[in-house]
Structure 1
């Protein structure tokens, strides 16, 4: 077993890289998109259309990447991914045409799958399957600061730097900070694995789903995460501009920044008080909070306390959802082949969620914000029902030594 110090170091290092990975590769996009559109001669919808295509292709790569994580190690994939993220951010910053820009954004999303939560969770399961669920909670607690840090940073930098210059700064962060940390995790994992093998047999988690029901449960839980992912991605991609458009003005950035602390708060609450909640129950709670938050915004409009409650509920639900994405597959299907399993689930979630930014932008332009939010809430309600069905079909997982 990894020493507590090494495991704590791995979780801390991954926390830093997740903040940078999500901040530079995901959260900053909605802030920088208007500048991209103006620079490239595109409409904002077209820019988000490119983003949606890139999310779809990135989602398709998740299954392959998951298998490679099982084969060569998640930390190795993350090290390579940091270099690819830096190169593609630089390519995006240089792009002289819309075609090169589109290719760069697509490659950026492929690299995202190599460095964000899917890979980080697999690295923690590799380190110690038995304690992985707790480590995932700690990791998401740290990673929850990504939007809080990078939305204001991106907004501030865009005041005196072009989006191209900002992407070069982000490339440097991925290359000179994230890559060395991922490389250290890779080395620590190999050293720790050798020590583990010499010291004691490795514990594996056996899933709660009977073998003959795995395919059906995989489809159901992938469907639930995909729908909820679509619901959340649609809102997050437009959160700050959307809040500004309903009359909240400069307060939109401040309100949007509450999303991150709410994510952190939900994970902290779960860590302290949620020990008796199973991963299926966590998934249900997360979906309910996200849908409730959307309904609050729908009912409150430009009323400031309502917008604050919306951001907090969305953050609480998103924070718990991130934990469920890592812990529910481990709970349901066990630690054997975890990378490939989560890769398939991520592919379904990302492929469906890929259309969310573009679809929501188009819906707001053609149907208005209220109808768009109603449709989004309905999709989230279906995911609640799917998670309830999954929770009702589980037995408690066991452990085995291998």
Structure 2
């Protein structure tokens, strides 16, 4: 439990200082630097392209250098990126170069890298630990959006980024628990080689990658826009905290459910709920209750999607394939999702909030179809099972 708490807090910090950075500081950066919203939010797109390019190599890097070293290095890169972003002069090329560095740091420090480490240590038995880690990590937006806003008002966004860099150093110290946690996991959960091995179907891989991409596009596109979108819907900005609360509540429910529902079945339910959630968003203009339900609901679904991204491979692939296969399969998701912040900002600027929500609803329907297809074929072609 101590290990899950430390790693969860580390993830809360790493997500807050990177992925959710523009949600807190983006509007102030637009005003101060004199760039358009599309140009500023494109920084996250650049980072995600880099995440996709380095993703296929991450599994091998974890195997060669060790999980703690990779996670620490990624967190330090996040700290350096925050400091460089705070001290940069108004130059778009330099701004995007800094976000390229951010992309490497994010890929080596966020959930995908950490879960690959845990899967290598404990196989499918690491799923419970992953859920506990995300209970804290899911509160990142709830903590860092208000924190960033408060820092911006108090000391300005540049000094706020220096505070973010200092928090990254705190995150580095939390990662020292990983070796002791690794030994504890192996002792408590048993040897990962005791888990039945499955051959990975190419069609399963394709469907998994497509599903991750669709959900990633939604998450990457909406997260930076959500605080301002909520305000334009006529709801108080404080309701944005429901996003993180929804993530944590959903993950806590999943933790209580345990293995009573398979990841493939849960994936279908999430697919059904996504279009319904955005339909509520379309109806929420001027209705605070519906707006709160929309933010809470989408936060909950986003939280479950993160867990599914970690747990679906256990039902589709062999544990010893986890790090390398997921690293390869999520690479297109990062690259295609990289254009989501720019695309969502452009759609909202030119066509308004309702068009943005309609687009999100359409992506949700596509995600549902992929989830149904994966459920239909996911449990069929696993190949022979053996024990080593």
Deviation at 1:324, TM superposition (A): 0.3
Cα distance in 2 for partners of 1:134, 1:159 equals 39
Match of 1:388 in 2: 372
Cα distance in 2 for partners of 1:235, 1:288 equals 19
TM-score calculated relative to the size of structure 1: 0.89
Match of 1:203 in 2: 193
Deviation at 1:274, TM superposition (A): 5.1
Runs of 5+ unmatched residues, structure 1: 1-7
Q: Identify the match of residue 113 of structure 1 among 103, 107, 111.
A: 107
Q: 1:138-157 CA deviation, whole Å, 9 max, x = no partner?
A: 11122111111111111111
Counting matched residue pairs gives 384
Match of 2:133 in 1: 139
Runs of 5+ unmatched residues, structure 2: none
Cα distance in 1 for partners of 2:277, 2:304 equals 14
Helix, strand or coil at the partner of 2:378: coil
Contact preservation (8 Å) 1:34, 1:44? yes
Distance change in 2, residues 1:41/1:246 (3 Å)? same
Cα distance in 2 for partners of 1:264, 1:188 equals 22
What does 1:155-174 correspond to in 2, within 5 Å? 155-174=149-168
Match of 2:27 in 1: 34
Distance change in 2, residues 1:80/1:363 (3 Å)? same
Cα distance in 2 for partners of 1:123, 1:31 equals 30
Deviation at 1:46, TM superposition (A): 1.1
Contact preservation (8 Å) 1:289, 1:316? no
Match of 2:57 in 1: 64
Cα distance in 2 for partners of 1:38, 1:386 equals 40
What does 1:72-151 correspond to in 2, within 5 Å? 72-98=65-91, 99-151=93-145
Q: 1:144-190 CA deviation, whole Å, 9 max, x = no partner?
A: 11111111111111111221111111111112x1112223314653x
Distance change in 2, residues 1:303/1:95 (3 Å)? same
Helix, strand or coil at the partner of 1:237: coil
Contact preservation (8 Å) 1:54, 1:107? yes
Instruction: Confirm or deny that 1:343 pairs with 2:361.
Output: no
**Displacement over 6 Å in runs of 4+:** 396-399
Q: Identify the match of residue 369 of structure 1 among 343, 347, 353.
A: 353
Contact preservation (8 Å) 2:124, 2:314? no
Cα distance in 1 for partners of 2:195, 2:81 equals 37
Cα distance in 2 for partners of 1:188, 1:377 equals 41
Helix, strand or coil at the partner of 1:300: coil
TM-score calculated relative to the size of structure 2: 0.92
